[in-house]
Structure 1
Amino acid sequence: MRMASLSSGSSGNCIYIGSENHHILIDTGISKKRVEEGLKALELTPTDISGIFITHEHTDHIGGLGVLSRKYGLPIYATEGTIEQIRRTSSLGTMPEGLYHPIHAGEDVTIGDLKLHPFAVAHDAAEPVAYRVNSNGSSVAVVTDLGEYTEEIVTGLQGLDALFLEANHDVRMLQVGPYPYPLKQRIMSRLGHLSNEAAGQFLLRLLHPGMKKVLLGHLSKENNYSELAYETVRMEVTLGEGDWRGEDLDLSVAPRTGLSAVATV
């Protein structure tokens, strides 16, 4: 199984996950052209994609959904609350009947040899989820856009081979940055986004000897930068309880545009 980011950040998010036989996208917040370019770098085309799984309805996660799905007839999987909000997003245009497939948090969805487990997360959206994907004994997860992680989430993400994890902001940069106060409060709330420090603490709860790759993503353009996220997460792991050290990790940061490192498990 492979996992890679085609784009990750406030300007648009799109994650690829696939086995030898089946391929999916998680979110399409970038243009059809950029999706096509990203897949081409992975030696794929949109016709290879079996479905698009949406985490939630914010524009940076669905901006390119309408054009891409209509062009290639790609099924869209999302919670009922998210689908309702997508239907209300006039900028996406009218979708042909039959493309929407409602899913439910806690209930697995099987696409060939990919088994997806959506789970509820705390975010200021209608019915947001994150995804764990299992295939042929391997397991990866995409966990972004959540203001906090619960014990239930930690338990459900044990034993991963690779993880795509949000490290959205540096708390100090956010506090002194240009955002209006209400927006700062929203981002730092339980319905907002994980800070670099919180991402490192969360990761420490999930680490085990079999975890082969960690990709950090969904970095804020205004309140974070790659080197800071990378070093902060490594430091949190090193300073946390247990014997893990930051240098033990195969850790990288997904770029805001373009293909990330590819996690192969």
Structure 2
Amino acid sequence: MTHGGRADEGASDLVGGAVITVTMLGSGSRGNAILIDGSEGTVLVDAGFGVRTLAKRFETAQRAPDDVGAVLLTHEHVDHACGAAAACDRWSWPIHATSATLAALSVQASGSPMLTVPLAERGATTVCGFSVEHAPVPHDAADCRALVLTDVRSGARAGIVLDAGHVPDGLSDFLDRLDLLVLESNHDSALLTNGPYPWPLKQRISGGQGHLSNAEAAHLAAACAHRGLRGVVLAHLSETNNTPDLALGASRDALRKAGWKRDSVSAAPQRLPLSPVRTDGGVGRPAATQLALGL
């Protein structure tokens, strides 16, 4: 991969046609959960729904909790981890996260999962056939992390960036040569400024430890653009301070200016799963059935 908008260089070639599949079970302030399938296994990134809601999301996506071999947590906030302990107990999922995130999780009301496995402080950790790397992102949590999952067998790579107050130096390099990118595009700056939230909450969201705006997300997406990037999924959209059209428009425009020739950009909804997005370029349609949000 090369940066600076030269998207025609550095294409990745998948080995043997292997495919990573990303299925967004839901993304936003009410909860986040992402299924990632590889050649040898499936992981769930974040478990920000209660067990009953999470089970419904699996059912609507025509998947089963038994498909999951492990959970990876980006951080301990309730919209990313409130279901981790109960889901671990019910489905015997090991929970992988940084040591600081696991420590923060242990003192929350939801409690600590039965089986926790710290991610390596440096380098990669192998989880369910993925080589998992992580990098810090600025957020008001104990140790929020961006993740890159590389399918060990094929070399296909998926990156996940959620809950970042701004784009730190080196993050685009960490996201090098991705095949799929899941990227927070939380708010439109004008809608947030003129919207109904109280001023302290507006400051938290737009400050350096809050969430990425559409413009910031679009800039990062463009920095990650290269010929081998097969798809971008925009995540954690605010239901009050954003719209899918605004988020998609910003990222599509930036990616086009960076020379990216594809149009496989989608926005994950909060209230229902988004059908699978694949490293072979396939993009499904959102599921038609709306889900109840009761925990």
Q: Same fold (TM over 0.5)?
A: yes
Structure with the greater relative contact order (CA < 8 A, sep ≥ 6): 1 or 2? 2
Quote the residue 2:274 is aligned against.
260
Write out per-residue CA displacement over residues 90-148 of structure 1, whole angstroms, 9 at most, x where no aligned residue.
2x14643xx01112454311024211111111111011111100012200111110011
Distance across 2 between alignment mates of 1:55 and 1:218:
13
Counterpart of 1:25, as a letter, is L
Tell me, in whole angstroms, the C-alpha distance in 2 between the residues paired with 1:113 and 1:62: 23
Take 2:165 and 2:142, find their aligned partners in 1: how far apart are those partners?
Answer: 14
Q: State the partner residue of 1:111.
A: 127
Structure 1 counterpart SS, 2:177? coil
What is the CA distance between 1:257 and its match in structure 2?
2.0
Corresponding letter in the other structure for 1:254: A
Letter aligned with residue 57 of structure 1: E
| Higher mean C-alpha displacement, 254-263 vs 21-30 | 254-263
User: Residue 41 of structure 1: CA displacement?
Assistant: 4.5
- Describe how 1:191-206 pairs up with structure 2 within 5 A: 191-206=209-224
Classify the secondary structure of the residue corresponding to 1:66. helix
SS of equivalent residue, structure 1 residue 123: coil
Matched residue, 1:28:
47
| Offset, 1:36 | 2.5
Name the CA distance, whole Å, in 2 between partners of 1:88 and 1:65.
13
- Name the CA distance, whole Å, in 2 between partners of 1:262 and 1:177: 33
Equivalent position of 1:172 in the other structure = 190
**CA distance in 1: counterparts of 2:122 and 2:146, whole angstroms:** 10
Query: How far apart, CA to CA, are the structure 2 residues paired with 1:199 and 1:100?
Result: 31
Identify the residue that residue 169 of structure 2 maps to in structure 1.
151
Aligned-pair Cα RMSD in Å: 1.7
Which 10-residue stretch deviates more, 31-40 or 3-12? 31-40
- Correspondent of 1:126 among 112, 133, 142: 142
**Aligned residue for 2:58?**
39
- Is 2:95 aligned against 1:79? no
Question: Structure 1 36/68 Cα, relative in aligned 2: closer, same or farther at 3 Å?
Answer: same
In structure 2, the CA distance between the partners of 1:63 and 1:25, relative to structure 1 (3 Å rule), is same
Give the Cα separation in 1 of the matches to 2:65 and 2:227: 35
What's the counterpart of residue 19 of structure 1? Answer: 38
Residues in 2 aligned to 1:100 and 1:243: alpha-carbon distance in whole angstroms: 42
One-letter identity of the residue aligned with 2:270: R
Q: 1:5 aligns with which of 24, 38, 50?
A: 24
Question: Secondary structure of 1:15's partner?
Answer: strand
Q: Once the two structures are aligned, what percentage of the paired residues are identical?
A: 31
Paired residues of 2:94 and 2:116 also in contact (CA < 8 A)? yes
Aligned to 1:137: 155
How much has 1:177 moved relative to structure 2?
1.2
Please say if 1:250 is aligned against 2:264: yes
CA distance in 2, matches of 1:51, 1:112: 7
In structure 1, C-alpha distance between the alignment counterparts of 2:244 and 2:56, rounded to whole Å: 23
- Kindly state the Cα deviation for residue 48 of structure 1 after the two structures are TM-superposed: 2.2
User: 1:260 & 1:126 partners in 2: Cα distance?
Assistant: 29
Corresponding residue SS for 1:256: coil
Aligned CA distance change for structure 1 residues 33 and 229 (closer, same or farther; 3 Å): same
Q: How many matched pairs?
A: 258
Matching residue of 2:246: 228
TM-score if structure 2 supplies the norm length? 0.82
SS of 2:181's partner is strand
Contact 2:47 2:83 in 1 (8 A): yes
SS of the residue corresponding to residue 271 of structure 2 reads coil
CA distance in 2, matches of 1:32, 1:225: 28
> What residue in structure 2 maps to residue 183 of structure 1?
201
Normalised TM-score (structure 1): 0.91
Please state how far the C-alpha of 1:244 moved relative to its aligned partner: 4.1
Is this contact kept in 2: 1:252–1:261, CA < 8 A? no
After TM superposition, the structure 1 stretch with the greater mean CA deviation from structure 2, 53-62 or 228-237, is 228-237
Determine the C-alpha separation between the residues in 2 that align with 1:169 and 1:158: 25
Gap runs ≥5 in structure 2: 1-19, 280-295
Cα gap change, 1:181 to 1:133, in 2 (>3 Å): same
Q: Distance in 2 between matches of 1:19 and 1:37?
A: 23
1: CA distance between counterparts of 2:56 and 2:175?
31
- Structure 1 stretches of 4+ moved >4 Å: none
